[in-house]
Amino acid sequence: MTNILEVKDLCKTYVINKRQNNVLKNVNFSVSEGEMTAIMGPSGSGKSTLLYSVSGMDNITSGTVEFGGKNIAKMNQKELAELRLDEMGFIFQQMYMLKNLSVLDNIILPACQSGKISETRKETVERGYELMRKLGIIEVADNDINEVSGGQLQRACICRSMINRPKMIFADEPTGALNRTSSDEVMEELAKLNAEGTTIMLVTHDVKVAAKCTRVLYIVDGNIQGEYTLDKYDRTKLRDRERALNGWLMEMGW
């Protein structure tokens, strides 16, 4: 299977009050097309920093990050912005959306800003509707963002992440602000996208979320200490997956 993401000797250092803080230290891993990878670890272990570094949202100190065969460490800010817009999708714990736009307009905004897909605005709008139907939120298309539930808004964020047909989705605690029911619904949608071939990498502290992934990377003090591989997600075996993953995490010091 082809690797969509290859990370070699990645280091990330912050300088605070003239003191170096080595957040990531010689991190090495790859992600194959079609994988759904979770990053787990204790608070302050570097999970989000790793996600931001490999997705081009944060500059790296040293090492290489290749996305789709392109070394993003050598790209300038304009090239990185175009890469993130055209080939990546992003979902965050805080559901950043523009308050002056409807839910649908927020979803299609990245497509209106990108030159990747040649289509009319009518065609873009129809693709937005199609994604909303797929995720079961078509009824709130014309609503303001303060008129929908947290679960509906996060599913709208998933639609937005998919609008430019990205090669890979990066998600930082995508269920962290949701209750258990909404969290389960959002993760079911992400699992469906993955089953259809979308590559996903997400940061989570929730074993129930990670158990729906196909691989878990465990990071401590900026180093990947181990990885756990699961079969393709099967809802009927979720409890067994959770139990096995939880046992492995306990062995890792979770």
Q: What single-letter DSSP state applies at residue 60?
A: -
Per-residue pLDDT, 115: 77
The answer to whether the beta carbons of residues 199 and 36 sit under 8 Å apart is: yes
Report pLDDT digits (tens) over 49-82.
999 999 999 999 999 999 999 999 899 999 999 9
CB 50 within 8 A of CB 36: no
Task: Report the SS3 class of residue 2.
Answer: coil
Domains, the chain, ordered by start: 3-94+171-251 (3.40.50.300)
**Residue 1 pLDDT > 80, yes or no?**
no
In whole numbers, what is the pLDDT of the chain averaged over residues?
93
pLDDT greater than 80 at residue 8:
yes
Q: Pairing mode, if any, of strands 168-172 and 88-92?
A: parallel
**Torsion sign (Cα): 160, 93, 183, 38:** positive
Residue 233 and residue 199 in contact, taking contact as beta carbons nearer than 8 Å: no
Give the Cβ contact number of residue 88 at 10 Å. Answer: 20
Strand pairing of 70-71 and 88-92?
unpaired
Q: Give CA–CA dist 106/238, Å, rounded.
A: 33
Query: pLDDT grade, residue 122 (50/70/90)?
Result: very high
Question: Token pair 């605005």 is at which residue?
Answer: 121
